Amino acid sequence: MLGARLYGKEDLRLEEMEIPQISEEEVLVKIKSAAICGTDVRMYNNGANGIDVEHPLVIGHEMAGVIEKVGKRVPFYKEGMRVAVAPNMGCGLCDDCISGNGHMCRDYRALGISLDGGFAEYVKIPAAAVRSGNIVPLADHVSYAEAAITEALSCVYNGISQCHIRPGDAVVVIGAGPIGMMHAMLAKMSGAGKVFVSDIAQNRLEACKDIDPSFIPVGADVAEVVEKMTGGHGADVVITACPVPSAQQNALKMAANYGRICFFGGLPADRQEVPLNSNLIHYKQLIVTGSTRASLKQFKESLGFVTDGILDVKKLITRHFPLSEIQQGFEYAKAANGLKNIIDMD
């Protein structure tokens, strides 16, 4: 089969490899579409722990396809099923796993992160993921590309869930990339009255109106615009969907009394310590939280939003690339062109 292995920093090689062999408790999925994620781009740009020329990895953790082969001891799943695949899995024994939050497990593993993933014609789903229900059946009317980007949507849904958005809330999303747009869409779905989307890239601000005409695109003057358009109230919810320290600092300033703030975008290792004015948290009674990955329940619920037509994620898909052009796809994504870029296997 053909697959894309990462060997280190900026060393992604498209090569022939053996189709994975499965055990009696595993499932083989023929990938149809896999989406390029910001995490994939960071791994490509910077390399990743445990990945080198001696230990290459097929990356890609947003994927969907058709079940090709089912182990003899695997119940329910059948060959030919259209499926989406949730990449995260835990040990199954710790408190996080038992509570349904395997994505927070200390021994967390993920397809495309620590195990071979979706930028290949086939992927093996380990027994632990099969038992946990990481393979989710896909409705016929949902495309493989839509299903693939559900993984990113589920991570955003986890972040939005921390914010407890109420009907009529003023919500600010800092960062108008695909993750920021998903936050804006979910904020609107949750009942937000005004959704401000802030970015310094004009092309991404222009795309906001294509996603939802009700979104309010704003540039670097976001604090002043929010102050004016909320009558001095401020933002009830602020979400930082970008890896920028100043965004976290500004979030505290923009938040209204009793505001909720989610630091969704993680920061680079050399900028992860950020001075914050804790008096703003104290005197405005702010709630500041973080968010990472997504639970399997959130993955399934997010796929439900797409299946039921509540969210139209097709608007987020900018370009499709065949697997043979994955290098061009990564270069396109690296340049922050468009929103979600899809690698198709057929």
Q: What is the 3-state secondary structure (H, E, C) of 35-56?
A: EECHHHHHHHHHCCCCCECCEC
* Residue 177, pLDDT score: 95
Confidence at 108, pLDDT banded by 50, 70, 90? very high
Regarding whether 32 and 142 lie in a shared domain, the answer is yes
* Residue 27, pLDDT score: 98
Considering the domain boundaries, does residue 61 fall inside one?
Answer: yes
pLDDT digits (tens, 9 = 90+) for 156-194: 999 999 999 999 999 999 999 999 999 999 999 999 999
DSSP 3-state of 284: helix
168 contacts 191 by C-beta, under 8 angstroms: yes
What number is the average pLDDT over the span 112-122?
Answer: 98
Regarding whether 117 and 133 lie in a shared domain, the answer is yes
pLDDT digits (tens, 9 = 90+) for 23-56: 999 999 999 999 999 999 999 999 999 999 999 9
DSSP 3-state of 71: coil
Regarding whether 86 and 8 lie in a shared domain, the answer is yes
CA geometry: angle 68, 342, 25, nearest 5 deg: 25
Considering the domain boundaries, does residue 256 fall inside one?
Answer: yes
Domain total of the chain: 2
Regarding whether 140 and 26 lie in a shared domain, the answer is yes
Helices 245-254 and 222-229: crossing angle in degrees, nearest 10, is 20
Considering the domain boundaries, does residue 266 fall inside one?
Answer: yes
pLDDT digits (tens, 9 = 90+) for 201-238: 998 999 999 999 999 999 999 999 999 999 999 999 99
Regarding whether 169 and 274 lie in a shared domain, the answer is yes
Regarding whether 205 and 94 lie in a shared domain, the answer is no
C-alpha to C-alpha distance for 145 and 329, rounded to whole angstroms: 15
Tell me the β-bridge partners of 82: 66
For residue 114, count other CB atoms closer than 10 A to its CB: 17
Considering the domain boundaries, does residue 220 fall inside one?
Answer: yes
Residue 265 predicted with pLDDT over 90: no
Considering the domain boundaries, does residue 91 fall inside one?
Answer: yes
- Domain of 209, CATH number, reads 3.40.50.720
Q: CA dist 277 to 28, 152, 235, 248, 252, Å? A: 51, 31, 17, 10, 8
Find the distance separating the first CA and the last CA of the chain, reported in whole Å.
Answer: 12
Residue 112: phi and psi, rounded to 5, are 85, -5
Q: Which of 244, 260, 290 is the last residue of a domain?
A: 290
Regarding whether 323 and 269 lie in a shared domain, the answer is no
* Residue 337, pLDDT score: 85
Regarding whether 271 and 136 lie in a shared domain, the answer is no
Regarding whether 87 and 7 lie in a shared domain, the answer is yes
What number is the average pLDDT over the span 137-164?
Answer: 98
Please spell the DSSP secondary structure of 77-144, one letter per residue.
--TT-EEEE--EE--SSSHHHHTT-GGG-TT-EEBTTTB--SSBSEEEE-HHHHHHT-EEE--TTS-H
Regarding whether 35 and 115 lie in a shared domain, the answer is yes
Regarding whether 135 and 97 lie in a shared domain, the answer is yes
Across the chain, mean pLDDT equals 97
Radius of gyration of the chain (CA): 20
Considering the domain boundaries, does residue 298 fall inside one?
Answer: no
Which structural domain range is residue 190 located in?
155-290
- Domain of 89, CATH number, reads 3.90.180.10
* Residue 269, pLDDT score: 85
Q: CA dist 27 to 85, 122, 293, 294, 329, Å? A: 11, 10, 23, 22, 28
Residue 334 predicted with pLDDT over 90: yes
Q: For residue 32, which of 69, 57, 56, 68 has the smallest C-alpha distance? A: 68
Regarding whether 37 and 139 lie in a shared domain, the answer is yes
Considering the domain boundaries, does residue 129 fall inside one?
Answer: yes
pLDDT digits (tens, 9 = 90+) for 270-295: 899 999 999 999 999 999 999 999 99
Tell me the β-bridge partners of 195: 171
Confidence at 344, pLDDT banded by 50, 70, 90? very high
Could you tell me the pTM of the whole model? 0.97
Considering the domain boundaries, does residue 167 fall inside one?
Answer: yes
